[in-house]
């Protein structure tokens, strides 16, 4: 694949993308509907962190492009994304997360290109513009894979009603109302495993070792083979694992194409094989 020579607008777009990814996914986790009980989620800390994210988004984006519209767009998006995740219908969490990401990328690129915006903040770095763009895009995608992937997986689990449930033994109230409680311990454990899984699978796809995908999934299933005897856990495991694999596969292909186009030296072994 021939190496691309990028424009000033594309460089700006890639830097705004990594800025948005850091502020949306890299600082604090936003609450999901299952956090509504307020027991395990630190709401006060999150509110201050969200305010900080909004202010930083507005200031840094304006510093990069000197566009009030772009600055306001990023700040507004970071402010309303948590609301979408928490208040939207539970079964549409994954779809809304994907739509917001795609619309943000398309709007940012179209606006910058249409109004021919130029960089106003330049850092003296010993690497080329193409390499800066590659680092920005790869970093932004990896941040999305780790935390954005969690929102997508949770949305798919909620859509299929396969979130892990605690088996209640006890109170008559629970028996009468049929109340079910989410297994937060298992969900937190699954979130951590899923984050690591998506990160490893993304690196595997970037390296072009597609055969290793099956091996890693099989190894994960082998470790939890005893729990897979239960149907509810098996459905939770399969839906979560397949969603994680799909997110990692798409992200890995995006990163691989980006590096091939902008920084092929990093993939020289695969290119030469």
Q: What is the pLDDT of residues 114-153, one digit of tens each?
A: 888 877 666 667 888 899 999 999 999 999 999 999 999 9
d(CA 51, CA 154): 25
Rg (CA), the chain: 21
Please determine, for residue 53, whether its predicted confidence score (pLDDT) is greater than 80: yes
- What is the pLDDT at residue 243? 92
d(CA 38, CA 95): 25
| DSSP label at residue 165 | E
Summarised one tens digit per residue, pLDDT across range 154-192 is 989 988 888 888 765 554 444 444 456 777 777 888 888
Residue partners of 195: CB distance under 8 A and separation at least 6? 146, 147, 149, 150
Question: Which carries the bigger pLDDT value, residue 232 or residue 243?
Answer: 243
Question: Which carries the bigger pLDDT value, residue 234 or residue 148?
Answer: 148
d(CA 8, CA 10): 6
Q: Which 3-state string (H, E, C) describes 166-204? A: ECCCCCHHHHHHCCCEECHHHHHHHHHHHHHHHHHHHHH
Q: How confident is the model at residue 272 (pLDDT cuts 50, 70, 90)?
A: very low
Q: How confident is the model at residue 88 (pLDDT cuts 50, 70, 90)?
A: confident
Query: What average pLDDT does this structure show over 82-111?
Result: 88
Percent of the chain with pLDDT over 90: 41
What average pLDDT does the chain have? 84
d(CA 121, CA 128): 16
Please determine, for residue 231, whether its predicted confidence score (pLDDT) is greater than 50: yes
Contact 232, 253 (CB under 8 A): no
d(CA 85, CA 152): 10
Contact 103, 77 (CB under 8 A): no
Q: Which long-range contacts (CB under 8 A, 24 or more apart) does 57-65 make?
A: 57/19, 57/20, 57/23, 60/19, 61/16, 61/19, 63/120, 63/121, 64/12, 64/15, 64/16, 64/19, 64/119, 64/120, 64/121, 65/12, 65/16, 65/112, 65/117, 65/118, 65/119, 65/120
- What is the pLDDT at residue 52? 96
- What is the pLDDT at residue 158? 87
Give me 39's structure tokens.
């027991």
- Choice among 24-28, 40-44, 126-130, 165-169 with the minimum mean pLDDT: 165-169
């Amino acid at each position: 694949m021939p190496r691309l020579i990028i424009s000033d607008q594309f460089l700006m777009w890639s830097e705004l993308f990594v800025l948005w990814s850091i502020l949306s996914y890299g600082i604090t986790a936003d609450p999901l509907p299952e956090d509504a009980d307020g027991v395990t989620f630190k709401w006060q800390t999150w509110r201050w962190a969200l305010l900080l994210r909004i202010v930083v988004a507005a200031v840094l984006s304006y510093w990069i492009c000197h566009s009030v519209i772009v600055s306001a767009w990023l700040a507004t998006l970071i402010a309303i994304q948590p609301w979408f995740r928490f208040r939207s219908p539970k079964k549409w969490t994954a779809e809304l997360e994907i739509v917001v990401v795609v619309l943000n990328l398309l709007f940012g690129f179209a606006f910058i290109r249409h109004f021919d915006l130029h960089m106003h903040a330049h850092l003296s770095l010993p690497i080329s513009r193409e390499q800066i763009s590659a680092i920005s895009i790869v970093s932004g995608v990896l941040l999305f894979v780790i935390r954005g992937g969690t929102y997508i997986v949770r949305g798919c689990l909620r859509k299929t009603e396969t979130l892990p449930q605690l088996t209640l033994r006890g109170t008559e109230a629970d028996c009468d109302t049929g109340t079910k409680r989410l297994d937060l311990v298992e969900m937190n454990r699954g979130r951590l495993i899923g984050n690591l899984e998506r990160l490893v699978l993304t690196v595997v796809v970037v390296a072009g070792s597609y055969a290793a995908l099956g091996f890693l999934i099989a190894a994960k299933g082998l470790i939890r083979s005893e729990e897979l005897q239960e149907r509810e856990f098996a459905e939770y495991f399969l839906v979560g694992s397949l969603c994680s694999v799909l997110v990692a596969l798409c992200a890995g292909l995006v990163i691989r194409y980006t590096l091939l186009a902008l920084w092929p030296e990093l993939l020289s072994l695969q290119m030469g094989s």
